[in-house]
Structure formats: structure tokens, C-alpha cells
Amino acid sequence: MTFRILVVCAGNICRSPAAAQLLAAGLEDDTQVSSAGLDAMVGYGLDPDMAAAMRRAGITPQPHRARRLNPWLLEVADLVLTMDRTQRSRVLEFAPQMMNRTFPLREFALICSSLRDSGQLSWPARSAQESRLQEVAARAGDRDAGARVPVGSDVVIADPYRGTPADHDSAVHEIVDAVGAVLDAVRRGSPGPPPLPLHPAPPRRAARPRHILDDAGAAVTASSPGRAPRRTAGPSSPN
């Protein structure tokens, strides 16, 4: 059975399609990621300013057409991710049964990091990402499972629509960070032992060639200890 993730924002032309495309690119075929808007600009493509910000971040935008959120999309979703808590509340007006499966994206990312850092996620090597996502979503929905979001955490990804390039860049970077935390938890689970610190050896200074004379009076270059001296052209013998 396919695990379905639905990403929701306002117009479905900036934040939610960007997040959905990043999640889809990082997850395997046993998951399905789509997006919708609470006040969608139906039929519009990805906002050009958002597409430009994605390219600046090294992300290739994919084709997109905006659509409006509806009860059927929520009925088939296993996990819903919004851009803030107000949008989460609006989603729950459509589908109150999604209470424990709907989160702001950044909040879900914080929960994933909390579960991972506390050692509560452990994946068998061959487990499918579908089952991993199911477990992460179930633990996130169980507020007593030990996952904690720090008090005062900012979980809003602000709408950059009609904003400056910096606004779009900020939204893309926040989405990238949040999606990265989710993918990290799903792929790797609990962290292993920290790696041993590496102390690189200081760079060796190149030895300066020095010239000496051999017994015959020819110039010899000595470049490093342990090597035979290299004979160079010297003055011709007077004999």
C-alpha cells in the first residue's frame, strides 16, 4: 500500500509545490507526494519567482498545476503537512479525523529530529520507506511518545508570493531544511555513535633545494633527506 503525503499552502503555487517536489525527489516509489491550496490559484503553474529561487538553491523545478484542497484529497492522505498552524486548523475544519496526522512542515521536521536524536527510531536495513513513514507519523501524532518541539519554536514558513527575491530564497531554504530533517529521519533512523574527530596533519613545507659540491667539484642538489643527491650541470673540468 502506498503512503500518501499531501502538502498544503494557500495558493498552491509557491511553498507547497516546492516542498512536495523536494519530498518526492527524496523518497522512494512506495510513497506518493502531492500538493493543494486552501485558496488555490487553480490551473496556475509554479510561481516564476519561486522557480527562480529554487534554481538559485540548486533545485530544478518540475511542472506543476495548482489545485484546490478538497475533502477527498484529505480522505486518502496518510500525512498532511501545512506551512503554519493556522493552515493546519483550516485543514482540520475539512477533516477533523486528521487531527493526529496533520502538522506544519517545520513542526513535523522538529518532531522527526527529536525522535531521531532521542534514539526512538530504528530501522531494519531492508524496511520500506512506506513503513518508516507510517511509524514516524504515528509517533508524531502520539504527543506522549517522547517527541518534543522546543517551546517557542518558529514553525511558520512565510508566504513569499509577490515578495522580494530574498523572501523567496528564505522560504526555499526553510523548506529545504525541513524536508532534509524528515528525509534524514526516514532514511537513517536513530543516529549511530559520533565519528572520531579527525585532526589533519599540518601541511608539510617544501624543502628548499640546497647546492653542495661533490668530490669532483660538480654541483649537486640535495632536496630531501634520505634521497640520493641529484647531480646537476657543473663547471667543466680544467683537465
Based on the domain organization, do 183 and 211 belong to the same domain? Answer: no
pLDDT single digits (tens) 147-203: 567 666 789 999 999 999 999 999 999 999 999 999 999 988 765 444 333 333 344
Based on the domain organization, do 214 and 151 belong to the same domain? Answer: no
Based on the domain organization, do 104 and 211 belong to the same domain? Answer: no
- Residue type for position 2: T
Beta bridge partners of 104: 82
Q: How many domains does the chain have?
A: 2
- Average pLDDT score over the chain: 82
Residue 112 is among the residues annotated as catalytic for this protein: no
Catalytic pick from 9, 112, 116, 139? 9
Based on the domain organization, do 42 and 123 belong to the same domain? Answer: yes
Based on the domain organization, do 226 and 116 belong to the same domain? Answer: no
- Does residue 61 contact residue 54 with C-beta atoms inside 8 Å? yes
Catalytic pick from 14, 15, 101, 139? 15
Domain hosting residue 83, numbered range: 3-188
Based on the domain organization, do 138 and 226 belong to the same domain? Answer: no
Query: What DSSP element (H or E) covers 1?
Result: none
- The SS3 call for residue 102 is strand
Q: Measuring CA to CA, how many Å separate 148 from each of 80, 107, 130, 141, 143?
A: 19, 10, 23, 11, 8
Q: Residue 190's pLDDT is what?
A: 63
pLDDT above 60 for 96:
yes
- Residue type for position 22: L
Q: Residue 26's pLDDT is what?
A: 94
Residue 9 is among the residues annotated as catalytic for this protein: yes
Based on the domain organization, do 140 and 225 belong to the same domain? Answer: no
Residue 201 located in a structural domain: no
Q: Looking at residue 28, which CATH number applies to its domain? A: 3.40.50.2300
The position carrying cell 530533517 is 181
Mean pLDDT (whole number) for 20-34: 93
In whole angstroms, what is the distance from residue 61 CA to residue 18 CA? 8
pLDDT above 80 for 218:
no
Residue 61 located in a structural domain: yes
Based on the domain organization, do 71 and 161 belong to the same domain? Answer: yes
Q: Residue 178's pLDDT is what?
A: 97
